Amino acid sequence: MFVAPAGLALRALRASWRPLACMGDPPARRFSAAEITRDAKCLPCEGIGSALPVEQAAALVAEKAPAWSMGGDQGAPRIFRTWKRASFIDAMQFLNRVAEVAEAEGHHPDLHLTQWNRVRIEFWTHALGGITENDIIMAMKVDAVDAQPKA
C-alpha cells in the first residue's frame, strides 16, 4: 500500500480546498417589509447577501424606525439615534440593556457615551458595508428598550 509523504498530502489538500462560498451559496434571504418587526430575529449576515439600496433603506427606516436617522459620513451608510439621558448611571444602564439585546441577536452596534449623559447608537452591517434589515430590526428593539420603565 502506497502512503504519500505528509508534506505531499498537505499540499494536495491545500490545492483542492475551496471556501464554502465557492461551493454554491444558498440563496440570499431577505425580509419582507411586513416581517421587519421588533420581534423578528436577526439573520446571519452571510444569509442576507447584500446591503439594501440606500433608497430602500431610507424608506424602511422612515416607516419602521422614524426616530432614527441615516448618515454615511464615515464611509458605509448607517442608521443612528442620539439620546440625552437623565444621568451618567442611567446612560450606562441603558447602554448595558442595549448590549444584552445586541448580544442575544448577534448583531452589535457602535455604542457611544459622550459628555456624561449623551448616548449615540449606530447600526450598519459591517460585513456587507451598508444597512440591512437586521439594522432596522435592531433599531426597533433599541426603541423598545428605551420605552421600558427604568429599573
CATH code at 119? 3.30.1360.20
Number of domains in the chain: 1
Q: Answer yes or no: is 1 within a domain.
A: no
Question: pLDDT tens digits, the chain, 151 residues: what are they?
Answer: 444 455 544 444 444 433 333 334 455 667 778 888 888 898 887 777 889 999 999 999 999 999 999 997 667 899 999 999 999 999 999 999 999 999 999 999 999 999 999 999 999 998 899 999 999 999 999 999 999 876 6
The 3-class SS string of 46-113 reads HHHCCCCCHHHHHHHHHHHCCCCEEECCCCCCEEEEEEECCCHHHHHHHHHHHHHHHHHHCCCCEEEE
Q: Answer yes or no: is 81 within a domain.
A: yes
Q: Answer yes or no: is 97 within a domain.
A: yes
Q: Answer yes or no: is 74 within a domain.
A: yes
Give per-residue pLDDT as tens, 123-134: 999 889 999 999
Measure the CA dihedral 112/114/116/118, to 10°.
Answer: -70
What is the residue range of 51's domain? 6-147
Give per-residue pLDDT as tens, 59-69: 999 999 999 99
Q: Answer yes or no: is 93 within a domain.
A: yes
Q: Answer yes or no: is 87 within a domain.
A: yes
